[in-house]
């Protein structure tokens, strides 16, 4: 099937998701308004941008990783984009077509697994730790890139680290990088995850195999000052299902949910598991903190998923609206004290002021959908929640613009929580181009402070964990 036909038959190859097939450097981009003088540094975001398409079953999670960088310097902005040159990317580039089947190409995928053919795509997150810029995925190898977005090498820290989650957490107090892997080949067939901590120099200082109640899509987790929280939701993961021509992932509502709470440097036997009868799903966790024996966790969560849901059916992918939700756990009594839905507006891709990771926070920023119908991965607003004061502000981009995850940047190293800026890529459906929108984080509902015009589409990006300042002031 021709590539054009594949694009026409797959929503993840159209509109905001449609890949671009060039790399470029653009200096002195047009700016409407002003870039705040405090913004002098680099923003890195990564997303799926397939070089070639294997079949019409293509899924957003599988595209080759492309990093987009905006450099701010004294009121001006430059743009750079580059593919992550993984082994998969280079092999397919050489032959001029796709080689690796996707997880929805069940027959071909099973055959390739049996032959030992595994893609090493990284497309979900870019993190900056121990002076290294790392591109990561759900379960594949880690790739190191430089500030100019050149791919340097696969990276394993100071140990043979078999990949890590797309959402590691960096403790702002200790600078420890806290991470795990549930899809690496040595644990993918067991009810086990591999848990790691690296110190500020990038050396692995703690590693454990953690037993979990069942293997699920454990995409995200949270840390507090003393604890790790592993949320287990019944979107189960079992690679053996390919032998029965089934999807790897399956919704098993009867299992309910589990929340594993463990000391940061704990072992598997130290992890307590708190069960929730209600089935539900949270792909992304906001953050967590502790107060005495209580652990407070926020996430974008859905508890209205049909029992027979199949979220990865080709040509009929089901997505369900998520809502900002808070749990309170008592670790001594091992119970859920409360669970409350904070708002009735669907949202995803939450961010906080990351200087407060693991500590009590008040401000939460999310991508929201104001449509009456939830389309999944299509957001038209940014919402700021002031948890303490029970208020929110909404920046509505309108019906012709789609936005992605906001990134909070503090005004300076000592500014109060929430005093800073939100950086948001926004895609205009009418012009097929993108902007980087700069919002005042204290006044999200007001007009942007500045809009950086990009003369082409920036395809849907997943995540960025931080913003790198030239002067390392935060």
- Could you state, in chain order, the average pLDDT of each consecutive group of 10 residues for the chain (474 residues)? 61 93 98 96 95 93 95 96 97 97 89 90 94 90 94 86 87 96 79 94 94 95 98 92 84 97 98 98 97 98 90 63 96 98 95 97 96 76 96 96 96 95 97 98 98 97 70 32
The pTM (predicted TM-score) of the whole model is 0.95
pLDDT score recorded for residue 115: 92
- Name the H helices within 219-347: none
Number of H helices, E strands in the chain: 3, 34
CB atoms within 10 A of CB 369: 22
Rounded CA separation 321/444 (Å): 22
Q: Which residues contact 437 (CB under 8 A, 6 or more apart)?
A: 403, 423, 424, 425, 426, 448, 450, 451, 452
pLDDT score recorded for residue 317: 59
pLDDT score recorded for residue 157: 85
Secondary structure (3-state) at 268: helix
pLDDT score recorded for residue 310: 78
Nearest C-alpha neighbor of 361 from the set 222, 469, 259, 218: 222
Q: Which residues contact 103 (CB under 8 A, 6 or more apart)?
A: 59, 61, 62, 109, 247, 248, 312
Please give the structure tokens belonging to residue 26.
């653009």
Dihedrals phi, psi of 195, to nearest 5 degrees: -120, 135
């Amino acid at each position: 099937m021709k590539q054009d036909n594949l694009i026409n038959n797959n929503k993840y190859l159209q509109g905001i998701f449609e890949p671009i097939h060039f790399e470029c450097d653009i200096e002195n981009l047009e700016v409407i308004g002003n870039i705040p003088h405090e913004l002098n540094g680099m923003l890195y975001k990564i997303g799926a941008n397939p070089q070639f398409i294997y079949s019409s079953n293509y899924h957003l999670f599988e595209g080759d990783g492309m990093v987009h960088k905006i450099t701010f310097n004294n009121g001006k902005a430059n743009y750079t984009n580059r593919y992550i040159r993984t082994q998969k990317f280079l092999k397919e580039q050489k032959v001029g077509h796709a080689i690796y089947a996707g997880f929805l190409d069940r027959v071909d995928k099973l055959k390739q697994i049996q032959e030992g053919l595994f893609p090493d795509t990284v497309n979900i997150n870019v993190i900056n730790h121990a002076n290294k810029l790392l591109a990561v995925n759900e379960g594949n190898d880690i790739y190191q890139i430089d500030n100019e977005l050149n791919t340097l090498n696969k990276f394993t820290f100071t140990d043979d680290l078999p990949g890590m989650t797309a959402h590691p957490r960096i403790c702002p107090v200790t600078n420890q990088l806290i991470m795990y892997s549930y899809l690496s080949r040595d644990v993918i067939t067991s009810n086990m995850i591999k848990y790691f901590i690296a110190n500020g120099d990038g050396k692995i200082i703690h590693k454990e195999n953690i037993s979990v109640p069942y293997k699920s899509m454990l995409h995200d987790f949270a840390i507090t000052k003393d604890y790790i929280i592993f949320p287990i939701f019944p979107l189960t993961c079992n690679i053996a299902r390919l032998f029965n021509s089934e999807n790897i992932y399956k919704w098993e509502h009867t299992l309910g949910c589990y929340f594993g709470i463990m000391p940061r440097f704990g072992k598997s036997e130290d992890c307590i598991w708190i069960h929730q009868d209600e089935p539900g799903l949270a792909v992304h966790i906001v953050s967590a903190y502790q107060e005495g024996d209580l652990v407070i966790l926020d996430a974008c969560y859905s508890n209205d998923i049909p029992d027979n849901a199949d979220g990865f059916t080709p040509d009929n992918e089901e997505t369900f609206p998520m809502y900002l939700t808070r749990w309170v756990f008592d670790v001594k009594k091992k119970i859920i004290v409360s669970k409350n839905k904070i708002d009735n507006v669907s949202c995803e891709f939450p961010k906080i002021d990351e200087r407060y990771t693991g500590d009590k926070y008040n401000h939460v920023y999310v991508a929201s959908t104001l449509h009456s119908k939830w389309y999944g991965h299509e957001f038209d607003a940014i919402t700021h929640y002031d948890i303490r004061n029970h208020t929110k502000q909404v920046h509505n981009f309108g019906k012709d613009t789609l936005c992605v995850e906001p990134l909070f940047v503090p005004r300076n190293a000592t500014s109060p929580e929430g005093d800073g800026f939100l950086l948001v890529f926004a895609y205009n459906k009418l012009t097929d181009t993108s902007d980087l929108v700069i919002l005042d984080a204290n006044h999200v509902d007001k007009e942007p402070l500045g809009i950086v015009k990009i003369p082409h589409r920036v395809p849907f990006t997943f995540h960025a964990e931080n913003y790198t300042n030239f002067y390392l002031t935060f």
